[in-house]
A and B are shown apart, each in its own frame.
Chain A
Amino acid sequence: MTLNYLSLLHALLPEASLVLGALVVLGFDLVVGRRHDLAQRTVYATVLGLLAVLAAVYHTYDARVDGEVFGGVFLLDSLGMATRLGVLVLTALTLALLPGVTKVRQPAEYVAVILFATTGFTLMAVVQQLLVAFVALELASLSLYILAGFDRSRPDSAEAALKYFLLGGISAAFLLFGFSLLYGLTGSIALPEIARQLSVQAMTPLLLVAVLMTVVAFGFKAAAAPFHLWAPDVYQGAPPISAALIASGSKLAGLVMFTRLLWSGVGPAAGNIATFNAVPGWVPAVALVAVLSLLVGNLGALAQSNVRRILAYSAIAHAGVLLLGVITAGKFGPAPLVYYAGTYGLATVGAFGVIAVLDAAGIGGSLADLAGLRQRSPLLAFCLVVFLLSLAGIPPLAGFFGKFAVFAAALKLNGLAGWAGWISVFAIAMSAVGLYYYLLVLKNAVVVPGRSDAAPIKVPLAAATALLVAAGLILVLGLFPSAVLQAIS
């Protein structure tokens, strides 16, 4: 095996630009920022951070679809490229929310940590080796823990960070244990080699344990039930902009990494749920988690009165659909999954963006606090309508086609003559429940009149642009989903 460091550098230039960008952000703030006030430092950090993301986008295109790199540690395929771009777009939107909105007192550190997390995400998009996968996941996770606890003025931010960290740590332990078992069984940490080894092995209890450990960690990362308990508290307690990244970019990257891991690595141990006689493996386990998530997420959201908690439970429900997309990715490719996760990310970043602006304006997070939003800021109300209706799956917004594509794939597995088909029917039925709680939020924002003395809410220019871009992307991708589907052929 000859290792070509030059090709490795070329392949990882996006990550290099992000890390370099993070260092420049820190350095610039150290040298120049101290002479300026907080608002200006935030603007500087954001602009530099956006430039770093822009460079990463350029290098992602430049790296092209290149096949295996560095002895197969990374795989630059169309899936990896699309995921990297998706993650970068989500990060850019998150960053653009900062100026004028965030109350963080160390903007440079905040932006730098966001960039480090993004580095983890983009690595997760292309990795196909267990060790680097774990490191990339931990880079992203540790950054997210910090982001969750970044608001030191609020105790619930610290609580969110601690919960996220403890549960995340446990799930990482599960993952590492699963990985070591896989290594022990196959003697390799490279996904293609693991698949080769497993394809000649029978399903042993040890393999099943290894696979289930991986699924547990995956369930945690995807905020799927019954590993979802951290999500409502983190979504509620973390600074909204951190929550935006946790719910969007992190999810897209995690799903793609685990889809790669499960299909190109332990694919031979997948099992099957296309018929009613399920073959044991990780697919039935993931299917079970999907059903539980659909149930817990949709029913749990009904009981909430806080918008962020509703979004958290809706995220759990969406995780159910996404896991269905993971199951179908083996046969029909990951395009529906990536489309769904990407457009879900856009809508979630947008929704948390609206919440962040409201938070900055001193408006609380309960449903009743939204009353009169339409009078106070038509822009925010309009954007919120677009984001939530997309999450609810109303055409022509992108959320609808995402659902459509995933359900179509699940039904194509074997129609209604197997579990997969019935899970998708269940998910379709649950979407009516989803519409109820999304409309409940929108009712408060759009229908219920506010107090007559309520002042208009000022939306900073950058945040307004980010929200409108996200809403526009949701509409455009909903009308022309082929643009994404073709990119992941």
Chain B
Amino acid sequence: MNALPWTIYVSFAGAALALLAGNRAASVARAVALATALGGLALALVAAAAFKPGPGLQTLVNVPWIAEYGIRYHLAVDGISLTLIVLTGIAAVAGVLFSWNITERTGEFFALYLALIGGVYGVFLSADAFVFFVFYEIAIVPKYFLIAIWGSTNREYGAMKLVLYSFAGSALVLAGLLWAYAASGANSFAVADLAAAGAQLSPGVQQGIFALVFTGFAVLAGMFPFHTWAPTGHVAAPTAASMLLAGVVMKLGAYGCLRVAMPLFPAGFVYWQPVIAILAIIGILYAGCIALVQEDFKFVIGYSSVSHMGFVILGLAAANAQAVSGAVLQMFSHGVIAGLLFAVVGRMVYERTHTRQFSDLRRLPLHKTLPFAALTFVLAGLASMGMPGFSGFPAELTILIGTWKTSPLWAGFAGLGILIAAAFTLRAVQVSFFGSTEAAAPAPAASHDPHHDFAPITWPEKAGALLLIATTVYIGLKPDVLLDWIVPALRSPLFQAVLKGGQP
């Protein structure tokens, strides 16, 4: 267990090493990055094997840091954070594998990538709100450079928009946390202390602070109407960065909502609960509908991420043990599936065809020329639609059942979102991989047939895809593995205050 903080340190050390190694040879930088990511995953899995589920956080490190402000370097883990740490480990390894073809400034790419991963691990392990915030902000800046340097389509715009949205969100969080710290008079940033002091505040103040902090985190979680950074950012980002952004970084926002905003101000949460739920449902339906009409393959995936994250926020808003545990499961599941989808679109297809437009892809019989990509995408699509046997199914089902208990109406609308998700996913599968039958007919089998030019799928791509598929199938068949961690964690007093107050 106590090795878990090393996920952070190993990632940052790996970042420095990759930067130095990049000066010598790209292959060394790649090897360093893969070793670092594997090391992080191994640390996470070893800790997971030794993990004993229980309510409350299990402290890993707790030393004074900035005594003047009562700030402690406090790292701790419970079932929820462990779930997301394992997800981060898997996503990190897959991301490195799908970045194997980066040749330009390789060392810097992996340095920034690993710095981002280190920040993410740090957020998931923090038990002190200040430490949480520091890691949260550390994870922001690398995104800018990853997208602006190695991205595609409108990358500088996408990068700047994404970073400014994230940073503005974190500014709201900072304002809220400082307000809570100042108003409560507690000389501590421990979530439990802030919550205890925050409970003494007047309801109006609690509602105000909650709105600030929750909105700040929800920006990063892609909650409607603060989601517009997500599609443009995901589309502009290089494959590994999109995988991480959609797969892990959006979870930081949702995790912040669950770990900081809600336990800190249960009274504020109860006040805003219906608003959050309605925004979540709008996000599910609206983003789903937009995904339905996109002509750019990657935009479909980008909007689908917003739609799926809507389920996470809905699960949090429903605020009962089942819905919240479903939300955490969905964070994990979507992290894996979104990674897979972006990997197929960004790496397997775009890097070979150099187009993401459906109108172009339709003319290419990709199911014949890139069968592995087609197979992967079909599996990922099934998982994304929430088919049984994949992790999306137990996750969304748990959220819907939990939400039904709070409000059948919400669950009904959200259920509609699953239908829309099926529609846009099937459309994407059909048009991009199996679209050739009708369109190929007018075009004679010309000699300049581009199909044979595609490089075969390489081993890192296969390994990464297999890792992600195996994960989603394993969790789809055996969701208890994660639920056995998550459900006991929700019995901690901090979460109970939210979950009890969760009845509308």
Contact = CB atoms under 8 A, between A and B. Distances in A.
Q: Which are the 8 A-B pairs with shortest beta-carbon distances?
A: A411-B182, A395-B134, A412-B182, A432-B168, A415-B183, A447-B148, A428-B175, A485-B68
Contacts of B134: 395-396, 400
B342 interface: no
B167 A435 contact: yes
A435 B183 CA distance: 28
A436 B164 contact: yes
A131 interface: no
A416 B179 contact: yes
Nearest to B133: A395
Nearest to B156: A443
A425 interface: yes
B178 interface: yes
A405 B68 CA distance: 10
11 contacts: A394-B141, A395-B138, A404-B178, A411-B183, A415-B205, A432-B164, A432-B167, A435-B164, A447-B156, A482-B66, A486-B68
Nearest to B170: A432
Nearest to A446: B145
Interface of B: 65-69, 133-134, 137-138, 140-141, 144-145, 148-149, 156, 160, 163-164, 167-168, 171, 174-175, 178-179, 181-183, 205, 208
A415 B182 contact: yes
Label chain B's interface by main secondary structure: helix
Contacts of A404: 174, 178
B67 A482 contact: yes
Contacts of B140: 394
Interface size class on chain A is 20 to 34
A439 interface: yes
A355 interface: no
A431 interface: yes
A447 B145 contact: yes
B486 to A, nearest CB: 29
Given A395-B134, A429-B171, A482-B66, A439 B160 contact: yes
Contact of B149 (A424, A439, A446): A446
A486 B64 CA distance: 14
A389 interface: yes
Given A446-B149, A482-B68, A485-B68, A432 B171 contact: yes
A415 B184 CA distance: 9
B163 A411 contact: no
Contacts of A432: 164, 167-168, 171
Interface centre among B134, B141, B178, B179 (most CB of A within 10 A): B178
A314 B220 CA distance: 27
Contacts of A429: 168, 171, 175
A473 to B, nearest CB: 17
Given A447-B148, A447-B149, A447-B156, A411 B179 contact: yes
A322 B159 CA distance: 30
A481 interface: yes
A431 B174 CA distance: 11
Mostly helix, strand, loop or mixed at chain A's interface?
helix
B212 to A, nearest CB: 9
Interface of A: 335, 389, 394-396, 400-401, 404-405, 407-408, 411-412, 415-416, 421, 424-425, 428-429, 431-432, 435-436, 439, 443, 446-447, 481-482, 485-486
Contacts of A428: 171, 174-175, 178
A424 B156 CA distance: 30
Contacts of A407: 174-175, 178
A340 B67 CA distance: 18
Contacts of B168: 429, 432
- Chain A CB count within 10 A is highest, among B141, B160, B182, for B182
A436 B160 contact: yes
A271 B392 CA distance: 60
Nearest to A485: B68
B283 to A, nearest CB: 23
A394 B137 contact: yes
Contacts of A424: 175, 178
Contacts of B156: 443, 447
A347 to B, nearest CB: 15
A156 B426 CA distance: 65
A435 B162 CA distance: 12
A398 to B, nearest CB: 12
Contacts of A408: 69, 178, 181-182
A318 B243 CA distance: 37
A425 B176 CA distance: 9
A199 to B, nearest CB: 28
A486 B205 CA distance: 33
Contacts of B160: 436, 439
A404 B144 CA distance: 23
A335 B141 CA distance: 28
B137 A411 contact: no
B265 to A, nearest CB: 14
**Most-contacted residue by chain A among B68, B138, B144 (CB, 10 A):** B68
Given A411-B178, A428-B171, 7 more contacts: A335-B68, A396-B138, A405-B69, A411-B182, A436-B164, A443-B156, A485-B68
A429 B212 CA distance: 12
A340 B470 CA distance: 50
A419 B164 CA distance: 26
B179 A415 contact: yes
A7 B134 CA distance: 46
Contacts of A421: 179, 182
B305 to A, nearest CB: 23
Contacts of A416: 179, 208
Nearest to A396: B134
B182 A389 contact: no
A132 to B, nearest CB: 32
Contacts of B66: 401, 481-482, 485
B175 A425 contact: yes
Nearest to A407: B178
A53 to B, nearest CB: 29
Nearest to A434: B167
Nearest to A378: B23
Choose among B67, B163, B179 the residue with the greatest number of A CB atoms under 10 Å from its CB: B179
A392 to B, nearest CB: 9
Contacts of A436: 160, 164
A352 B494 CA distance: 49
Contacts of B208: 416
